[in-house]
Every structure is written in C-alpha cells, then in structure tokens.
C-alpha cells in the first residue's frame, strides 16, 4: 500500500505514473471508508484526487503555496501530508478538521471554509513573495461554483491587471452544491466545448514560448493576428481579456497531462489560469449520479449510499414548506438563495414558483442588495442564508436594507452551533452583529410552529426583519404558545426564585434546566424572548425585579447578543440582580458534535444546572 508509506507529498516525486494511479485509487477507497463513517464532503473530494496528486508532484508544498478555495476538498492533501492515520478522526471532536488549518500543518497554506477567498489570499502570498524577493510559486485552486462569488471576481480583476506570477487552477465540475448557475457558468460551458481547439492552440503556444526572446515576440504577433479569429471561435475569451494566460481545458483525472501542464505553467510569467475538468463524486458511481446529495453527507451505507441517520423534519424544511404555502396566497413573496437551494429548504419553492425563485450563486452580498431592489418595488423577498455566510453581506444589510427600512425578510438558517464543520461554519455571531443595526427587528422561534408564526408576522411587518433558527430539528419539549405580538416576549413557565431568559431553541434548554432546579425545590420563571430586538424590557424587567436572580441561555457568542442585551437592561433599570450567562465564550469554537461542544462549553442542561447551584444562593 502506497498510502500508508507516504509521509509527505515530497514522496510523490519518487513515484512513477503507475504507482501514482495506484495511490489515487487507495486514497479514494480510504476517503470513502472514513467519510461513510464520519460524514463529510464526499463528492468534491473524490473529484480532486488526481488533481491534488499532480499539483503536489509538481509544486513543493513545503515552499510553494497552494490555497484551496472553500477548503472542503482538502482530504487528499491532508492524507498525503502527514495525516494519514489521523484522517480517521476527520471532523470528530478534537480530531482532524474537514478544512485546511494552518495549525494542523505547515503545508496547509491558508485557512478556508467560506467560499471565493483563494485568489485574494494567493495574490497576497504572491505580492509578499515579490516584495521579499523570494522565488516560490503560488497557486489558488478554485471551483466553478466558488468562481461565481464576488470576491473571486474582484480578485481576478486585481490579479489580471498586475502581471504577478501566480496560477489559478479552475476546478470545473459543472457543479456548485447543486448545478452551477449564471453567466460565468455559461462562459465555462462554452470553453468546455472548445476542448480541441484550445488544447492544440495552447500546446503550440507553449512550444513557441520555449524559444527565448523571439518566442515571446512571435507569440505576441500570432496572438494579435489570432485574436479576431479566436473571438469568433471562443466568444469572449474572458480570462485572456482580463489579463490571464488561459491554459486548458484539461482532463482533471489524467495525472500525466496535468503534471505536464502544471510544469509548463511553472515556467511561464504573469497570471495563469488553468482550466481543469473534473467529475464530482469520481469513482463512486452513486455519488457521480447524485453529486448534489453527496456534496456533504452524514454517515452512510457504502453499498447503497443510504444515510445511516434517520431523516427527521428540520427547521429548513419547515421554513421551505411554509413559504410554499404562503406564496400560494401572496403573489408578492419571492425567495432568494445564494447557492444553497436544498440546504435552506427552498427546493420545492424553486420547483413550484420558478419565476419567483432566485439562486444567485455564491453571492451573499448581491443577494441582499438584489432583495432590497425587489422590496423597493413592492415585493416581499425572503432571503435564506446560513448564519455564518450572512457575515458576507453585512454592509448590504445596513446600507441597502435597514437604512431605507425595506421589508426584506432575512432568514438565518444554521444559526447557533452547527457542529462538525467547525470554526468557519458556527453560526454564533449573528445575534451580536445584527443587534446593533438600527431599524432591524430580530426574532428567533422556540419551535417549528413559532417559526411559521414568525414568517406570517414578518410578511405583514413591512420592515426589515431577521428570523434566526438552528440546524436540525426541535428538541422535543412541547409548548402551548400565546399569539405573537410585536416586541413582546412570552412567559412559558412561572416561578419566583430565578428568571431564565432564553431565545430560539434555547428556550427548550431553559425548560430542561428549570426542571432540574425544580427537583431541588428551586422555582424558575422561563421567558421566551421571541424578539431579541426590540427586547421586551417590561416583561423581562418585571421578572428580574421579582426573582433578583437571572440567567441567560443563548445559542451565540457571549458578547453582543442576548446576554449583552440583558446586562444592558439591568444597568439601565439599575436592577439589583445576580446574573450569569450561558453562551459561547469569546473564542472560535472548533468542530465536534453539537452535544460535545455544548458540554465542552458548559452550556448543556446539566452543566448549567450545576453552575447555577454553585453560583447562586437560594
Ligand atoms: C460564502 C460561502 N457561501 C456558501 C458556502 C457553501 N458552499 C460550500 S461549497 C459550495 C459550492 C462550491 O462549489 P465549487 O467551488 O464548484 O466546489 P465543488 O464542491 O464543486 O468542488 C457552497 C455553496 C460557502 N462555503 N461559503
């Protein structure tokens, strides 16, 4: 087995093509084995096995920089760079991260997780190299999906005009998570279909470039003559026109050809874009046939491809179903996603109302300003984006939506701790960063039916509004709810000794803690905030005055969210209250299961109960 012996990718340099092909199939089997047990990003990783081997055969990751965009396709890189054994702990608590981490290995050039950052970071590496008179190569590997992101376009614009030596490897598998969309995708489709022309053209060009000085002049002359012809044959040659030398497209599973092309690219000056065609899910037919379903998976049966966990109803599904129903009656409702149609539960909406559904690609900032325009013209946009990806659209929310008080409904999916994807994906900051924006109403439902009620409420509010809800389903605690009123919280349990203020799915946690305290004779009042903003200072203030003791439970960072709001209230009303907060500390929370991370951060019911008993005198 080659895979067991390889210590770092420098070992690839000693291997011949046959051994590398053998290594590729061993890596595939290993990825399938581990991901089928641990879950993870399967299809993208199966698609880049040969690409990674070829790249790391030609470039030297101990000095050259390879930046993987999004980073969800870094498994082969990790396996061949000192983490073969550790790979079994992929995405597990205290195990290997599913994304590149500079803290794990010096060969991980840059941390990623969010899309479309690689070209910018690579440009930084390249410029720093030039300023320091170093000689290393810099490569950004970006997918066709990630290329739709605004940052990638901004970076191409910068790099293309810079004459900087760096290489962009475009890993084109025609897929984002779902089928890739948009004008860039159309451009790539045209390039893909011009395979033969481009390949022979490019090879000829590279041979000529080997002839010093005259070669360069010759290429310039021929290029000039060819431009008009080329523009007819390959309309728009976008990359060349913005300043890149375009190589490809090339079969991304052919190690030999890839190596040749990368070696040539190493010799060329200026920005180079290498267009590589890969198959998402390559080598595992079930994933090849369903690349979207196998983009990110939980543990599954290798034989059948069936998930081992039972699919339960989750918040995204409730959101999607409710929106379909609401849109039936209300023709003003439109839905927007940024490349996460299925993840956000909008699949059915897209099928039923294609003219009112917009997948804008990985373009969160654009999604929000686009929504602002729709809202200004009287429509009611529901924009569903994961909490951590809303970070990309902050200025648009302030400047384009809230400043003009436009009625955009911002649905924040995967809010709170998400688990195995780790630091880059935890939705812990949205309450903090939304709360300081004027004109914004922020709600979080305690259960499915409250989510539905909040969606109805949001449509009629005619103001910018956020509804945040978590990954996964309900806790199982059953509530009887009172009707929703603007800015009003809901007392879900009456008590006299302690006020427990909670929001969203943490209202269930509050009820669990209240039960545990109740067994010890401590009577808790549980308040479901419903609104983080405006906060129901009257109901909460009255409870605090009554009990003199208060805890806050929230699925977010301790700074800036509900805990901060309640401490501000205590100070403002000059209340004499003992206070403790159960939220996530001011640090980045790594990967692990939600349960493990809750225990680690002492926000599970038992830890909160024990801490309350220690801290407060009843
Ligand atoms: C800012 C941001 N928005 C959304 C995502 C979710 N996301 C992860 S991978 C992905 C698709 C990436 O497609 P592509 O770059 O083509 O890579 P592939 O998986 O097809 O190899 C998306 C939308 C993200 N990581 N970052």
What would the pLDDT profile of 197-230 be if each residue is shown by its tens digit? 444 344 444 433 443 444 455 445 445 544 444 5
The total number of structural domains that make up the chain: 3
Q: Are residues 373 and 514 in the same domain?
A: no
Assess contact for 335 and 328: CB atoms under 8 A.
no
Please identify which of the residues 322, 392, 446, 468 carries the catalytic annotation: 392
Asked whether residue 366 is domain-assigned, the answer is yes
Below-50 pLDDT ranges, the chain: 196-215, 218-219, 221-222, 225-229, 231-233, 235-236
Asked whether residue 52 is domain-assigned, the answer is yes
Distances (CA, A) of 215 to 207, 209, 210, 221, 439: 9, 5, 7, 10, 62
Known catalytic residue at 14: no
Assess contact for 150 and 116: CB atoms under 8 A.
yes
Q: What pTM did the predictor assign?
A: 0.93
Known catalytic residue at 5: no
* Neighbour-count burial of 118, counting CB atoms closer than 10 A to its CB (0-12 exposed, 13-18 middle, 19+ buried): buried
Determine the distance from the C-alpha atom of residue 598 to the mean position of all C-alpha atoms in its chain, rounded to a whole number.
21
CA nearest neighbour of 317 among 293, 340, 296, 347: 347
Q: What is the DSSP letter of 389?
A: H
Q: Are residues 172 and 269 in the same domain?
A: yes
Q: Are residues 285 and 319 in the same domain?
A: no
CA of 73 to the centre of ligand 1 (A): 10
Nearest protein Cα to ligand 1, atom 21: 44
Nearest protein Cα to ligand 1, atom 19: 44
Q: What CATH number should be reported for the domain holding residue 512?
A: 3.40.50.920
Q: Are residues 353 and 448 in the same domain?
A: yes
* Neighbour-count burial of 354, counting CB atoms closer than 10 A to its CB (0-12 exposed, 13-18 middle, 19+ buried): exposed
Asked whether residue 204 is domain-assigned, the answer is no
Indicate the pairing of strand 578-584 with strand 531-533: unpaired
Query: Which atom of ligand 1 is the closest one to the Cα of 144?
Result: 16
Q: What is the pLDDT of residue 195?
A: 55
Q: What is the pLDDT of residue 194?
A: 65
Q: Are residues 148 and 38 in the same domain?
A: yes
Query: Which atom of ligand 1 is the closest one to the Cα of 143?
Result: 15
Alpha carbons 450 and 616: distance in angstroms, whole number: 32
SS3 assignment, position 412: strand
Handedness of CA 122, 126, 128, 129 (dihedral sign): positive
- Give the residue, out of 77, 119, 146, with the most ligand 1 atoms within 8 A of its beta carbon, to mutate for a pocket test: 146
Please identify which of the residues 65, 245, 280, 468 carries the catalytic annotation: 280
The angle subtended at Cα 319 by Cα 363 and Cα 590, nearest 5°, is 60
Asked whether residue 214 is domain-assigned, the answer is no
Q: Are residues 358 and 414 in the same domain?
A: yes
Nearest protein Cα to ligand 1, atom 25: 114
Determine the distance from the C-alpha atom of residue 557 to the mean position of all C-alpha atoms in its chain, rounded to a whole number.
18
Asked whether residue 302 is domain-assigned, the answer is no
CA of 70 to the centre of ligand 1 (A): 6
Asked whether residue 170 is domain-assigned, the answer is yes
Q: What is the pLDDT of residue 481?
A: 86
CA of 115 to the centre of ligand 1 (A): 6
Q: Are residues 505 and 464 in the same domain?
A: no
Q: Are residues 51 and 99 in the same domain?
A: yes
Name 166's Cβ contacts closer than 8 Å, sequence gap at least 6.
122, 123, 125, 126, 137, 138, 139, 140, 159, 271, 272
CA of 117 to the centre of ligand 1 (A): 11
Query: Which atom of ligand 1 is the closest one to the Cα of 41?
Result: 19
In the structure, which protein residues have their CB atom closer than 6 angstroms to any atom of ligand 1? 44, 47, 70, 72-73, 114-115, 143-146, 171, 173, 175-177, 280, 338-340, 362, 364, 389, 392
Which domain does 68 fall in, by range?
A: 2-194+234-289
Q: Are residues 345 and 394 in the same domain?
A: yes
Query: Which atom of ligand 1 is the closest one to the Cα of 389?
Result: 1
CA nearest neighbour of 426 among 551, 309, 593: 593
Distances (CA, A) of 572 to 349, 503, 537, 576, 578: 45, 21, 10, 11, 15
Indicate the pairing of strand 465-468 with strand 333-337: unpaired
Known catalytic residue at 453: no
Handedness of CA 444, 531, 334, 438 (dihedral sign): negative
- Give the residue, out of 31, 115, 280, 294, with the most ligand 1 atoms within 8 A of its beta carbon, to mutate for a pocket test: 115
CA of 28 to the centre of ligand 1 (A): 21
Partners of residue 143 on adjacent β-strands: 171
CA nearest neighbour of 165 among 89, 268, 62: 268
- Give the residue, out of 144, 362, 389, with the most ligand 1 atoms within 8 A of its beta carbon, to mutate for a pocket test: 362
Q: Are residues 244 and 323 in the same domain?
A: no
CA nearest neighbour of 613 among 516, 528, 499: 516
Assess contact for 90 and 81: CB atoms under 8 A.
no
Assess contact for 592 and 467: CB atoms under 8 A.
no
Alpha carbons 393 and 410: distance in angstroms, whole number: 11
Q: What CATH number should be reported for the domain holding residue 463?
A: 3.40.50.970
Alpha carbons 613 and 518: distance in angstroms, whole number: 12
Asked whether residue 300 is domain-assigned, the answer is no
* Neighbour-count burial of 571, counting CB atoms closer than 10 A to its CB (0-12 exposed, 13-18 middle, 19+ buried): exposed
Alpha carbons 202 and 151: distance in angstroms, whole number: 28
Query: Which atom of ligand 1 is the closest one to the Cα of 48?
Result: 21
Q: What is the pLDDT of residue 231?
A: 46
Nearest protein Cα to ligand 1, atom 23: 339
Asked whether residue 588 is domain-assigned, the answer is yes
Q: Are residues 250 and 109 in the same domain?
A: yes
Phi-psi sector, 371: left (phi>0), alpha (psi -120 to 50), beta: alpha
Assess contact for 158 and 246: CB atoms under 8 A.
no
Please identify which of the residues 56, 364, 452, 554 carries the catalytic annotation: 364
Q: Are residues 409 and 553 in the same domain?
A: no
């Amino acid at each position: 087995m080659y895979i067991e012996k390889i210590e770092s990718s420098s070992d690839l340099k000693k291997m011949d093509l046959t051994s590398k092909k053998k290594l590729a199939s061993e890596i595939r089997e290993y990825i399938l084995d581990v991901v089928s047990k641990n879950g993870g990003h399967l299809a993208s990783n199966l698609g880049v096995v040969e690409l990674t081997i070829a790249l790391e055969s030609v470039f030297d990751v101990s000095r050259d920089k390879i930046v993987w965009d999004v980073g969800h396709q870094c498994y082969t890189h990790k396996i061949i760079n000192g983490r073969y054994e550790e790979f079994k702990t992929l995405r597990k608590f205290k195990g290997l991260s599913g994304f590149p981490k500079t803290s794990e290995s010096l060969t991980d050039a840059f941390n990623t997780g969010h899309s479309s950052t690689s070209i910018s970071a690579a440009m930084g590496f390249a410029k720093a190299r030039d300023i320091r008179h170093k000689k290393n190569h810099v490569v950004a590997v970006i997918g066709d999906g990630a290329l739709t992101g605004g940052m990638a376009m901004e970076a191409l614009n910068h790099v293309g005009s810079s004459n900087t030596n760096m290489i962009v490897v475009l890993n084109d598998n025609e897929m984002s998570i779902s089928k890739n969309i948009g004008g860039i995708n159309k451009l790539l489709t045209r390039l893909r279909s011009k395979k033969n022309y481009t390949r022979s053209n490019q090879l000829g060009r590279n041979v000529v470039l080997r002839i010093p000085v005259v070669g360069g002049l010759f290429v310039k002359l021929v290029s000039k003559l060819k431009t008009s012809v080329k523009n007819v044959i390959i309309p728009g040659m976008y990359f060349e026109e913005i300043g890149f030398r375009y190589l490809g497209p090339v079969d991304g599973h052919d190690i030999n050809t890839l190596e040749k092309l990368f070696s040539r690219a190493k010799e060329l000056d200026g920005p180079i874009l290498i267009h590589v065609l890969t198959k998402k899910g390559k080598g595992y037919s079930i994933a090849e046939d369903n690349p979207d379903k196998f983009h990110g998976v939980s543990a599954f049966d290798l034989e059948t491809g069936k998930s081992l966990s039972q699919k339960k109803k989750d918040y995204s599904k409730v959101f999607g179903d409710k929106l379909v129903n609401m849109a039936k009656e209300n023709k003003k409702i439109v839905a927007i996603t940024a490349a996460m149609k299925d993840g956000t539960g909008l699949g059915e909406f897209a099928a039923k109302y294609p003219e009112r559904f917009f997948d804008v690609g990985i373009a969160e900032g654009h999604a929000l300003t686009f929504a602002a325009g729709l809202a200004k013209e009287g429509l009611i946009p529901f924009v569903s984006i994961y909490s951590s990806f809303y970070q990309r659209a902050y200025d648009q929310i302030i400047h384009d939506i809230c400043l003009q008080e436009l009625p955009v409904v911002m649905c924040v999916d995967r809010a709170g701790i998400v688990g195995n994807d780790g630091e880059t994906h935890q939705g812990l900051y949205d309450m903090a960063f939304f709360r300081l924006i004027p004109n914004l109403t922020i709600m979080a439902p305690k259960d499915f039916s409250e989510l539905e009620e909040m969606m109805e409420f949001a449509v009629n509010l005619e103001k910018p509004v956020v509804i945040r809800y978590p990954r996964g389903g309900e806790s199982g605690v059953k509530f009887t709810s009172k009707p929703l009123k603007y800015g009003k919280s809901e007392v879900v349990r009456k008590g006299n000794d302690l006020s427990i203020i909670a929001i969203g799915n943490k209202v269930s946690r509050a009820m669990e803690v209240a039960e545990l305290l109740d067994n010890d004779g401590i009577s808790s009042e549980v308040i479901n905030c419903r609104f983080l903003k405006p906060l129901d200072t009257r109901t909460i203030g009255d409870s605090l005055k009554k009990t003199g003791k208060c805890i806050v439970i929230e699925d977010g960072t301790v700074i800036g969210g509900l805990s901060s709001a309640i401490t501000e209230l205590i100070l403002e009303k000059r209340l004499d209250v003992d206070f403790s907060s159960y939220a996530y500390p001011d640090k980045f929370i790594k990967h692990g299961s939600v349960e493990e991370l809750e225990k680690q951060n002492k926000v599970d019911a038992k830890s909160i109960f024990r801490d309350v008993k220690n801290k407060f005198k009843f």
